[in-house]
Amino acid sequence: MDGVSELASEPSALSTAIGLPYTDAVVVAGALVLGITSGVLGAFAVLRRRSLVGDAVAHATLPGVCIAFLVAGVKDVPGLLLGAAVAGLVAALLMVGIERAGRIRPDAAIGVVLSGFFAFGVVLLTHLSNSSDADQAGLENYLFGQAAGLLERDVAVMAALAAVALLVVGVLRRALTTTLFDPAFAGAIGLPVRVLETLMTALLVVAVVIGVRVVGAILMVAMLVVPTVTARQLADRFPSVLVLAGLVGAAVGVTGALTATRGQLPTGPVVVLTGFAVAVAALLLAPGRGVLWRARRLAARRRTVRRDAVLAQPDAPVSGLRDRLARAGLRRRGLLAADGTLTAAGQVAAAETAERRALWTAWLEHGPSISLPDAREPDPADLTGSLGPEAVAQLREAVRGQVVSGYASYGTRIHSRPPEGAR
Amino acid sequence: MSDGLLIVVIAGLVATACGLLGPFLVLRRMALLSDAVSHAVLPGIVAVWLVAQTRAPLPVIIGAAAFAVLCVLGIDALRATGLVASDAAIALVFPALFSLGVLGVTRYAAGIHLDLDSTIYGEIAFVPFDTVWLGGYEVARSGLVLGGVVLLNLVLVGLLWKELKATTFDPQFGATVRLHPRLLSRLLLVASAVTAVAAFDAVGAILVVTLLIVPAATAYLLTDRLVVMVALAIGIGWLGAAAGYAVALPMDSSIAGAMGLVCTACFVLALLLSPRHGLLTRRWRRLRVHPAP
Amino acid sequence: MLMSSTETRTASALEVRGLTVSYRSAPVLWEVDCAFPAGHLSAIVGPNGAGKSTLLKAALGLVPADAGRVLIDGVEGRGALDRVAYVPQAESVDWDFPITVREVVEMGRYRATGWFRRVGRADRAIATECLERVGMTGFAKRQIGQLSGGQRQRVFVARALAQRAPVLVMDEPFAGIDARTQEDLLGLLGELRDAGGSVVVVHHDVAQVRAAFDWTLLLNVRVLRCGPTADVLTSDAVRAAYGADVTWTA
User: In CATH, what number is assigned to the domain containing residue C49?
Assistant: 3.40.50.300
Are the beta carbons of B207 and B121 closer than 8 angstroms?
yes
Q: Does residue A413 lie within any of the structural domains?
A: no
User: In CATH, what number is assigned to the domain containing residue B79?
Assistant: 1.10.3470.10
- Least confident interval from A172-176, A348-352, B270-274: A348-352
Strand partners, C225: C218
Neighboring chain A residues of C81 at a CB cutoff of 8 Å: 188-190
Are the beta carbons of B118 and A140 closer than 8 angstroms?
no
pLDDT digits over A187-215, tens only? Answer: 989 899 999 999 999 999 999 999 988 88
Residue A409 clears pLDDT 70, i.e. is over it = no
Residues A38 and A157 grouped into a single domain: yes
Residues A271 and A296 grouped into a single domain: no
Q: Does residue C134 lie within any of the structural domains?
A: no
Beta strands C41-45; C215-220: pairing state: parallel
pTM above 0.90, yes or no: no
Q: What DSSP line would sit under A103-133, residue for residue?
A: SS-HHHHHHHHHHHHHHHHHHHHHHHHHHS-
* Per-chain mean pLDDT for chain A: 83
pLDDT recorded at residue A6: 42
Q: What is the mean pLDDT of residues B244-258?
A: 86
C102-126 core/surface letters (b: 16 or more CB in 10 A; e: else): bbbbbbbbbbbeeeeeebeeebeeb
Residues A301 and A376 grouped into a single domain: no
Q: Does residue A52 lie within any of the structural domains?
A: yes
Q: Using pLDDT thresholds of 50, 70 and 90, give the confidence band for residue A134.
A: very low
pLDDT recorded at residue A11: 56
- Least confident interval from A7-21, C5-19, C138-152: A7-21
pLDDT recorded at residue B113: 53
Q: How far is A46 from chain B (nearest CA, A)?
A: 7
Complex ipTM value? 0.91
Q: How far is B279 from chain A (nearest CA, A)?
A: 7
Residues A253 and A317 grouped into a single domain: no
Contact A375 C181 (CB under 8 A): yes
Residues A259 and A373 grouped into a single domain: no
Per the structure, how many domains does chain A have? 3
User: In CATH, what number is assigned to the domain containing residue A275?
Assistant: 1.10.3470.10
Per the structure, how many domains does chain B have? 1
Burial class (CB in 10 A: 0-12, 13-18, 19+), A300: exposed
Residues A151 and A191 grouped into a single domain: yes
Q: How far is B223 from chain C (nearest CA, A)?
A: 20
Q: What is the mean pLDDT of residues A384-413?
A: 66
pLDDT recorded at residue B117: 67
Residue A63 clears pLDDT 80, i.e. is over it = yes
**Segments forming the whole domain that contains residue C83:** 12-93+166-242
Q: Does residue A41 lie within any of the structural domains?
A: yes
Contact A143 B31 (CB under 8 A): no
Around Cβ C66, how many Cβ atoms within 10 Å? 13
Neighboring chain C residues of B286 at a CB cutoff of 8 Å: 25
Highest mean pLDDT out of A135-149, A221-235, B124-138: A221-235
Q: How far is C79 from chain B (nearest CA, A)?
A: 32
Of B35, B85, B102, the CB nearest to A266: B102
Per the structure, how many domains does chain C have? 1
Q: Is C37 on the interface with A (CB under 8 A)?
A: no
pLDDT recorded at residue A169: 94
Residue B20 clears pLDDT 70, i.e. is over it = yes
Residues A297 and A268 grouped into a single domain: no
Q: What is the mean pLDDT of residues A54-58?
A: 94
Query: Under 8 Å CB-to-CB from B142, ≥6 apart: which residues?
Result: B10, B127, B130, B198, B201, B202
Q: Which chains touch A (3 or more CB pairs under 8 A)?
A: B, C
pLDDT recorded at residue A75: 67
**Segments forming the whole domain that contains residue A297:** 290-342
* Per-chain mean pLDDT for chain B: 86
Q: How many CB pairs under 8 A join A and B?
A: 192
Query: Under 8 Å CB-to-CB from B293, ≥6 apart: which residues?
Result: none
- Least confident interval from B55-59, B133-137, B250-254, B256-260: B133-137
Residues A231 and A282 grouped into a single domain: yes
- Least confident interval from A6-15, A59-68, B9-18, B91-100: A6-15
Task: Write out the H or E segment, with its range, that includes residue C215.
Answer: strand C215-220
- Percent pLDDT > 70 in chain A is 87
Looking at per-residue pLDDT, the higher value among B110 and A167 belongs to A167
> CA-to-CA distance for A203 and A57, rounded, in angstroms?
12
Residues A215 and A120 grouped into a single domain: yes
Residue A131 clears pLDDT 80, i.e. is over it = no
Q: Using pLDDT thresholds of 50, 70 and 90, give the confidence band for residue C229.
A: very high
Q: Does residue A1 lie within any of the structural domains?
A: no
Residue of A nearest to C186 (CA): A410
Residue A421 clears pLDDT 50, i.e. is over it = no
> CA-to-CA distance for C88 and C170, rounded, in angstroms?
6
Three-class secondary structure of residue C218 per DSSP: strand
Residues A97 and A240 grouped into a single domain: yes
Neighboring chain B residues of C25 at a CB cutoff of 8 Å: 286
Residues A232 and A378 grouped into a single domain: no
pLDDT digits over C67-103, tens only? Answer: 899 999 888 887 888 899 999 887 778 888 889 999 9
Q: Does residue C155 lie within any of the structural domains?
A: no
In angstroms, how far apart are the furthest CA atoms of chain C?
55
Q: Does residue A422 lie within any of the structural domains?
A: no
Residues A216 and A195 grouped into a single domain: yes
**Segments forming the whole domain that contains residue B169:** 3-289
